[in-house]
Structure 1
């Protein structure tokens, strides 16, 4: 008997405000065509004034719980992936716990920027496989609009706000790749590349900071490292690319998405793409795409799904699961 962390519910939430590319033409030397051609992004959502990351995460969590048909107190733990927590402390996860009316269990944040959801899934999987939890709510939520330098056209047009969530439950399997649930994970980081993607402020530097990025360097690392981590996860379970039903990548840039699929030898019709509507929502992008992919009728029970992401750190990782 093998314990698998199996998806039993999924949901997402996007703020009401939709920002089309044309809106940036009013304040920046840019255009809809320029943004689309370089990123594939057409629009994104921005949180309202006073709307926080925990607010977004709560709404996504409620949707996932409803999809699973369970109540908040049926959850043993919450793992939230975010780089834009409401406060320095306590964790935004504990705020979501309170918002859900969850009076038992435990909650904590994971910070690995855009790779955060892969890290959160790996942690949730470990909690379930080790027996520390039976059901875990895994959330990715971000308000990256609060980190933008609105004079930097190379970065401020790329990011958006949103949240997505999965409910994982311990289920028994046969120990083969035919099991539903998480089958493999692969996590990596290399702090030598900090300066190509970071926020130039923080608590110990006594400043708020804005996101800074060397786009060409990020692109160069992204395609190679995303393909590498996906291959590493597949190798752990003896799986080949032709067994993949869907890749659900971090939605950063359509050129990175296309480049990674090509490096893996997979057609684009096996890739769930939402970047055009959401922009880069950092740790929220994979659960958002999983939820939208299910909603569209793309991802179905029994499908083999590979997720992979890279973010500041650099940190990158992948998770393979059977839906």
Structure 2
């Protein structure tokens, strides 16, 4: 017998305000067609002024708990991936813990930008396998609309707000790749590439700052690194790309998604795509896509899923799991 971290519930939340590409035409030298052809994005959601990252995360967490048929009392830990926490401290995760009425266990944030959810999932898996938690709520939530430079047409049209969550539960497996749950993880970072994607402010520099990105350079790294990490994780699980039912990638850009699928030798009808509706929601994009994919009837129990992401750091990684 082998311990496995099995997904028993999933949920998401999107703010009510939908922003179509056409809205940017009023203030920027851009067009719906320009945004669509370069990114695949058609619309995104922006949080209301009084809506914070922990609010979005709480709604997604409640949806995931409901889907799992569990309550906050059944959860031992919350791991929340975000780069846009409400406050410098405490963590957004502890705010969600309070919002859910959870008075036991522990909660903390993980910061790996767009790769955050993969890092959070890997950490949650480690907590379960080491016996420190039986059930972990893993959340990705962002309000990237708060760190946009609205005069920079190359970045501000790409990002959106949202949250996704799933519940991981310790279950016994046979120790084979047929088991449900997380089968392997693979994480990387290389701090030499900081200048490709970063926010030019923070606590220690005494400013909030705005997102800055060298899009072409990020693109160049993305396809190569995402393909490599996905293939490494599959290999660790004793599998290959032909065993994959669904790639659920970080939803940054349709061309990166297409390029990675092609390099992995998988057709696009094996890829869950939500970028057209959500934009790039950073750490929220993978759990959002998992939840929407299940809602659409794409993802079914027993399906083999590879999820991969790359973000500022650069940080990147992948998780192979059987739904």
Range of TM-score over shorter length = over 0.9
Partner of 1:239: 239
- In the TM superposition, structure 1's runs of 4+ consecutive aligned residues that sit over 4 Å from their partners are none
Partner of 1:177: 177
Partner of 2:314: 314
Say whether 1:59 aligns with 2:53: no
Task: Report the Cα offset of residue 237 of structure 1.
Answer: 1.7
TM-score (norm 1): 1.00
**How far apart in 2 are the matches of 1:42 and 1:223?**
22
**How far apart in 2 are the matches of 1:211 and 1:260?**
25
**How far apart in 2 are the matches of 1:39 and 1:86?**
28
Count of aligned pairs: 323
**How far apart in 2 are the matches of 1:292 and 1:160?**
16
SS at match of 1:73: helix
Task: Report the Cα offset of residue 122 of structure 1.
Answer: 0.1
> Which has the higher mean CA deviation after the structures are superposed, 233-242 or 292-301?
233-242
CA RMSD of aligned residues (A): 0.3
Task: Report the Cα offset of residue 238 of structure 1.
Answer: 1.7
Q: How do 1:127-142 residues align onto structure 2 when only pairs under 5 Å count? A: 127-142=127-142
Q: How do 1:211-230 residues align onto structure 2 when only pairs under 5 Å count? A: 211-230=211-230
Say whether 1:25 aligns with 2:16: no
SS at match of 1:163: strand
Partner of 2:73: 73
Please tell me whether the aligned partners of residues 237 and 320 of structure 2 are also in contact (alpha carbons under 8 angstroms): no
Partner of 1:204: 204
Which runs of 5 or more residues in structure 2 are unaligned? Answer: none
SS at match of 2:248: strand
Which runs of 5 or more residues in structure 1 are unaligned? Answer: none
**How far apart in 2 are the matches of 1:95 and 1:284?**
17
Partner of 1:109: 109
Q: Deviations over 1:210-267 (max 9, x none)?
A: 0000000000000000000001101112211110000000000000000000010100
Q: Deviations over 1:87-123 (max 9, x none)?
A: 0000000000000011110000000000000000000
**How far apart in 2 are the matches of 1:263 and 1:191?**
25
Task: Report the Cα offset of residue 63 of structure 1.
Answer: 0.1
